[in-house]
Chain A
């Protein structure tokens, strides 16, 4: 299928956004308590599709919310009745504006696990009904390292529509999937089909963007070296100042562990699926009281190894997209980039 590129200018982009917001259920970054959350919006003035990277939370909650109803149950002396919960607020057709490159890649990583083996139907439905429109990443922030991971950032194939800066204030809108192509065609009022220089201009812009990264590493080297580092003494040393909260996992676009809990009143109840994290001391607590990861460094080791070894082996992807959200949100700014590099460069024992 031939994917179209449209050209516009900043004013045209604004009216494109406005048209989308008035015609569709639209989610976009909205400022709340000094950071940006993806929330349903009614007007472009209340949101910022080009929100600053370090202050924007992940788009993950729109697909894997912090807490979702799974089912309802009723247990009486006659037996147990199970029923579906009605009205998933995230299941309808919708458009998301201002998604960061790393966040969108995070969804591809989540797809691998949520559509593997047992398919999470709620998740699948939310993904199918959503059009993802990218933000314009022009400059890497302090903790960004998305270009260092196993994802071709230039291709932007995790989006349905990519919004990219061209030269001289030009902006290109490019369909990246079939879904995106149809969507753009329907909403192309005021946009013109781009001419031949578009590809070249976007390439130039990308090179400028790629040059702005402070953090660079070779992920394949990290993957290879970390394989043999399970017993590395470095792990025992690294997380000394970690406070053992769950922040890094909860803000991570790729962390997908959850717990199941019931909210019960007499015989009836609702079952919830909520975030959980391997940094939580109770995560591996077993019936009977044994806990194989009772100390911090073992939990940290699991986190680092899962991201760069186990997931890679199983799905051929890193469970890290280089967004830096964990480092920014961490109470003591522990950097996953620093940790894996230190582990990988430690001496083999």
Chain B
């Protein structure tokens, strides 16, 4: 999977036709094989751009920062990234007319060991669901499969699960890299950071990490697209996907097999009411 040439051509064309102000893509780190996101503002820099199976980061994340606000943006999206973009559009965070979306028919990206990443193996939609131009041959939607780690966790007793997560939250340093790397955590002021109303404890204790991360994962329930930006960003390497995949599983099972951002203008599991929604948990 190498679309370097095509992406450079597209970005070059968009700049020379004056259709965009910023192009968001990937470039080499300069010191190893890995790639980092890059925001390009002018035609002469387009030869930095590349796209291979190491283009991991979800670029929709950059649509929430001041560098792209109210600008015409071109960006590259894989399947999962495009689902996040879809949700940002639905939730009125970006304007479609300001975007030029280069969709990728993704064949999966690699993790740090060089193997295909776990979320790509389980991916339900590798092709971009929203695009102005598509690169590669789409392979179509795949069957939803339950995450193996979540299944294993479900097999444990409540006490065992509690012990496991206590260890996880104890290792959290509350740097908020997970939140800042998530395209769907776009709130101008996160509830976790409120200092006037003390909703959340300011201290970096285990209990505050528990509180913050659980709230965060619930705010993303039915919205998480499993791009794993959060998990890759975590300096403590915490298994954050367990929280999101568990939510995804519950929502998939209970709300008409809902998966976030698959179709345009999809309102999401928690935003719409349906008569067939389960109510057996209500006393």
Residues of A within 8 A of B (CB): 32-35, 37, 57, 66-67, 142-143, 214, 240-241, 243-247, 249-251, 259, 261-264, 272, 274-275, 277, 282, 295-296, 329, 331-335, 338
Contact = CB atoms under 8 A, between A and B. Distances in A.
B235 A251 contact: yes
B36 A241 contact: yes
Main secondary structure on chain B at its contact with chain A?
Answer: loop
Interface of B: 29-32, 34, 36-39, 57, 61-62, 65-67, 167-168, 171, 173-177, 179-181, 193, 195, 198, 201-205, 208, 229, 232-233, 235-239
Contacts, number: 111
A331 B181 contact: yes
A282 B195 contact: yes
A130 to B, nearest CB: 21
A240 B16 CA distance: 22
Given A241-B36, A282-B193, 20 more contacts: A33-B237, A33-B238, A67-B205, A240-B38, A240-B39, A241-B38, A241-B62, A245-B177, A247-B175, A247-B233, A250-B235, A259-B202, A262-B202, A263-B203, A264-B198, A272-B203, A274-B174, A274-B204, A331-B181, A335-B31
B181 A243 contact: yes
A190 B67 CA distance: 62
B205 A296 contact: no
Contact of A272 (B176, B180, B202): B202
A4 B48 CA distance: 55
A34 B34 CA distance: 19
B250 to A, nearest CB: 24
Contacts of A262: 202
Contacts of B204: 66-67, 272, 274-275
B37 A241 contact: yes
B203 A34 contact: no
A275 B173 contact: yes
Contact of A246 (B177, B198, B232): B177
B236 A332 contact: no
B31 A245 contact: no
